Every structure is written in structure tokens, then in C-alpha cells.
Amino acid sequence: MGAIGTLFPLVVLFLIVGAVAYVGYQIYLYTNELADRGLNKMERKNVVLTKDGMKVGVKEIRNEEYTDRTQRAFVKAWTLAEEDKANAQRRPGKPSRSATK
């Protein structure tokens, strides 16, 4: 009974150290997983971390698509301006939308 009594505190110490090591390892795994998730989310938004620093990518847009969008906006603005002008000429007593602003 004497040998077991002297080894009991050592066994308890190993159990406590093992439990603390297990909790520490689980925290380590969770933080790495969290960092990977954050990195993947940033990469989807065209942000890349390198050893040189952070690089932000620009979402590619084709020149043809850019031109189409610009022309569409220009034509829409032109059409609205022409409609305002035509409405102002039809009703001379009422101000147009742009004159009231």
C-alpha cells in the first residue's frame, strides 16, 4: 500500500497535465480552422494575404461589358432628359421635374 500511496500524486499530476494539454490542443485546432475559414472568405472577395502584405484584386470586367453598361446608362439619361423636355413643351404652365428640384 505504501508504493501506491506515493505514486498516486504522480498519477493525478499526469492526468491534470494531460487534460490541460488536450484542451490546449483543441484550442490550437479551433484557431487554425477559424483562420482558414477567414482566409477562404477573404479570397472569395479577392483579398489575398502574402508575406509582402495584403493584395486586393479587382473583379475583372470585360471591356465590351463595361462599354455596354456605360452606353446603357448614357442612353437612359438621354431618354429621361428628352421626356422631361417634351413634357415641359406640352404643358408650358407646369415646371418640369428638374426645375422643381
8-58 pLDDT tens trace: 999 999 999 999 999 999 999 999 999 999 988 888 887 887 888 877 777
Instruction: Evaluate if residue 1 carries a pLDDT over 90.
Output: no
**In terms of pTM, does the model score above 0.85?**
no
Do 18 and 66 have their domain in common?
A: no
Half-sphere exposure for 36 (CA within 13 Å, toward CB) = 6
Do 50 and 70 have their domain in common?
A: no
Do 17 and 36 have their domain in common?
A: yes
Do 73 and 88 have their domain in common?
A: yes
Predicted local confidence at residue 16, as pLDDT: 98
Predicted local confidence at residue 17, as pLDDT: 98
